[in-house]
Amino acid sequence: MSLFNNGDSEQVKIPLPEGATAQKIRKDATKNYWIEFKPLSIGNAANGALIHWDYQSNNFSQTELLDMHPATSDVSDAALMSSDAPFIDAESGNDYAIKITVLGKENTTPESQNH
């Protein structure tokens, strides 16, 4: 998993069990984005990026999954895929917009993903 950073956002890369990884991007003083890759997931999550928010009001201890395909009723297609348009948060609370694009999976062991 790789991430372009203009230097203003806080980033943390966390290795998780079973090959999963996550990166944190600061949205503003009260909220962060988490980008998660889970290669052993079901649905499109195995090939895409799950996007979450966490909140200061919960001491940043819980996340909320953002559905990147809200027109469907199935949460198993919630991941952002390389075939999808980029996710853009133009009101990020920073001097720049946050743009998340899945470029694709890398052919590595363990699997990784470029954003």
Domain assignment present for 101: yes
Q: How many whole angstroms separate alpha carbon 24 and alpha carbon 14?
A: 9
Domain assignment present for 85: yes
Cα of 82 vs its chain's centroid, Å = 13
Residue 9 pLDDT more than 80?
no
Backbone dihedral angles phi then psi of residue 113, each to the nearest 5 degrees = -145, 145
Are 51 and 38 in contact, with CB atoms under 8 Å apart? Answer: no
Residue 8 pLDDT more than 50?
no
**Residue 35: which domain range?**
11-110
Domain assignment present for 3: no
Q: How many whole angstroms separate alpha carbon 61 and alpha carbon 55?
A: 8
pTM over 0.95: no
What mean pLDDT comes out for the span 61-84? 86
Domain assignment present for 20: yes
What mean pLDDT comes out for the span 23-32? 84
Please state, rounded to an integer, the average pLDDT across all residues of the chain: 75
Domain assignment present for 60: yes
Rounded percentage of the chain residues whose pLDDT exceeds 70: 70
What mean pLDDT comes out for the span 91-112? 72
Q: How many whole angstroms separate alpha carbon 115 and alpha carbon 28?
A: 20
Q: How many whole angstroms separate alpha carbon 111 and alpha carbon 77?
A: 20
Number of structural domains found in the chain: 1
Are 58 and 49 in contact, with CB atoms under 8 Å apart? Answer: no
What is the reported pLDDT for 1? 44
Confidence label for 51 from pLDDT (cuts 50, 70 and 90) = very high
Q: Is the dihedral of CA 54, 58, 59, 62 positive or negative?
A: negative
What is the reported pLDDT for 109? 59
